[in-house]
């Protein structure tokens, strides 16, 4: 099939590249000319394992193209995907301005049989509004489907190629047939192709992310309770995770979730509830618990140092909101950095992929270390914010030598308290009794 992917950001680039890899001819469109030029040269502007290789291969085979010319991409496309950003407004609602701009740009060039497919995460009713706007702009009915994405940063290629399910919201059999044909190569292991109304599809994305966010906020709140009652959250997690009704997924305590999806989708779903007269108490609580959790390492630091942080040097391992990505949007590490700088600390940071993004944000306010051990040099304590594999089996003797004080604040529970005791560290983790 010939496909136009409007938006060459994270979702658009991953989706477009994977669709090209199954033999479709895909043209990715973006208003950022620098991004398009870099992609044409084989330079992928985001870090996602395996993506660069797929981009280069499919571009070389002539199946993947990049342009800033919307008309060129849309004119011959059977499917036109909208994969532009829908960031949060200050009130938590979704900002749809990029989506409306994309609709206006594609309208004059749509084939009469083209299906517009909304890949962007957008509130319930957006699909209908796009249909209304396209009717006014083209003078005819246009087929608009909703096809939410369920990609995890750091594992997006695998998620796209081996999905748990495909969800499509359609109003016509023609749209369903085209999307079923498109996704057939990914459903050979009998994974379900779920058809529903566009409104249900729009809700499915938000509800899925809200439930996963709820599990994270819940286990974090229970972890804080475990600390107060001298329990061990890892024991409790195992105790409940083996219940098949609960499972282990997303029950890992830490310093809160971040990224481009969970925070904004929880807030947007809460905003949708308020607009129809419902009070989203659970959603508000999930967001509140998560925001509070981002300050948990700072609270432990203040307690350890008797609230006297000024003049301390603090090392931070992990800046991305999760491993296997360079994405720092709403990352807990940034909250900690801001608080440490405000308290008068010197901050030394390391991350395998996100250093450039953080440096663009903070400039010379931080010291940027190219290795984990270099970040520890002369530091009064280490704070771990992201569970990169690089941090799981360090040289603890060398860590003690580099640190001025052998103190670790582990926001991801990477190490066993008994191991830390044997090496002589003061060790604070999440939901477990500290090692003094």
Binding site per annotation, positions for NAD(+)? 30, 35, 86, 121, 153, 264, 329
Annotated binding site: 30, 35, 86, 121, 150-153, 205, 250-254, 258, 264, 322, 329
> Angle at CA 111, nearest 5°, toward 105 and 113?
130
Residues 6+ apart with CB under 8 A from 60: none
Is 261 a residue of the active site?
yes
Q: What is the three-class DSSP state of 384?
A: strand
- Taking alpha carbons only, the member of 407, 220, 218 closest to residue 302 is 407
What phi, psi does 261 have (nearest 5°)? -110, -65
Q: What's the rounded Cα separation, in Å, for the pair 86 and 83?
A: 9
Q: Which residues, 6+ apart, have CB-to-CB distance to 177 below 8 Å?
A: none
- Count CB atoms within 10 A of the CB of residue 356: 12
Strands 25-29 and 166-169: unpaired
Q: Give backbone dihedrals phi and psi of 274, rounded to 5 degrees, phi first.
A: -60, -35
Look at residues 406, 403, 409, 410 and name the one whose alpha carbon lies nearest to residue 423: 406
Q: Which residues are annotated as a binding site for substrate?
A: 150-153, 205, 250-254, 258, 322
Q: Which of 18, 226, 261, 383 is catalytic?
A: 261
- With a CB cutoff of 8 Å and minimum separation 6, the contacts of 41 are none
Q: Check if the beta carbon of residue 371 is closer than 8 Å to that of residue 388.
A: no
Report the Cα–Cα distance between both ends of the chain, in Å, rounded: 62
Q: What is the DSSP letter of 419?
A: H
The DSSP string of 150-172 is -PPTTSHHHHHHS-S-EEEE-SS
Catalytic center residues: 261
């Amino acid at each position: 099939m010939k496909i136009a992917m409007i938006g060459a950001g994270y979702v658009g680039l991953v989706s477009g590249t994977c669709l090209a890899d199954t033999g479709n001819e895909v043209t990715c469109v973006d208003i950022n000319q620098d991004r398009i030029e870099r992609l044409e040269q084989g330079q992928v502007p985001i870090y996602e394992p395996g993506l660069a290789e797929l981009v280069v291969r499919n571009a070389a085979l002539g199946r993947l193209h990049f342009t800033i010319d919307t008309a060129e991409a849309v004119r011959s496309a059977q499917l036109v995907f909208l994969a532009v950003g829908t960031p949060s407004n200050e009130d938590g609602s979704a900002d749809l301005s990029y989506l409306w701009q994309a609709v206006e740009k594609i309208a004059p060039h749509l084939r009469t049989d083209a299906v517009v497919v909304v890949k962007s995460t957008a509130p319930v009713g957006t699909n209908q509004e796009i249909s209304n706007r396209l009717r006014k702009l083209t003078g005819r009915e246009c087929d608009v489907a909703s096809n939410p994405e369920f990609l995890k940063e750091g594992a997006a290629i695998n998620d796209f190629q081996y999905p748990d399910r495909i969800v499509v919201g359609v109003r016509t059999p023609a749209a369903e047939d085209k999307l079923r044909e498109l996704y057939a190569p990914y459903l050979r292991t009998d994974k379900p192709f779920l058809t529903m109304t566009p409104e249900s599809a729009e809700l499915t994305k938000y509800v899925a992310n809200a439930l996963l966010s709820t599990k994270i906020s819940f286990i974090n709140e229970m972890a804080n309770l475990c600390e107060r009652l001298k329990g061990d959250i890892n024991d409790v997690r195992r105790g409940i995770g083996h219940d098949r009704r609960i499972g282990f997924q997303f029950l890992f305590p830490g310093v809160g979730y971040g990224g481009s999806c969970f925070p904004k989708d929880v807030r947007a779903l809460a905003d949708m509830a308020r607009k129809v007269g419902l009070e989203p108490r659970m959603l508000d609580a999930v967001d509140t618990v998560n925001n509070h959790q981002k300050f948990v390492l700072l609270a432990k630091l203040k307690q350890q140092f008797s609230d006297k942080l000024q003049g301390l040097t603090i090392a931070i391992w992990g800046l991305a909101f999760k491993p296997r990505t360079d994405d720092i949007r709403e990352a807990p590490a940034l909250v900690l950095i801001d608080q440490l700088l405000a308290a008068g600390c010197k901050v030394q940071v390391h991350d395998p992929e996100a250093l450039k993004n953080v440096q663009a944000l903070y400039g010379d306010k931080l010291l940027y270390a190219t290795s984990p051990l270099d970040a520890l040099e002369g530091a009064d304590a280490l704070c771990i914010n992201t569970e990169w594999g690089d941090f799981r089996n360090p040289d603890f003797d060398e860590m003690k030598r580099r640190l001025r004080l052998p103190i670790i604040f582990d926001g991801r529970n990477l190490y066993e308290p008994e191991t830390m005791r044997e090496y002589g560290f003061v060790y604070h983790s999440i939901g477990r009794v500290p090692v003094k």
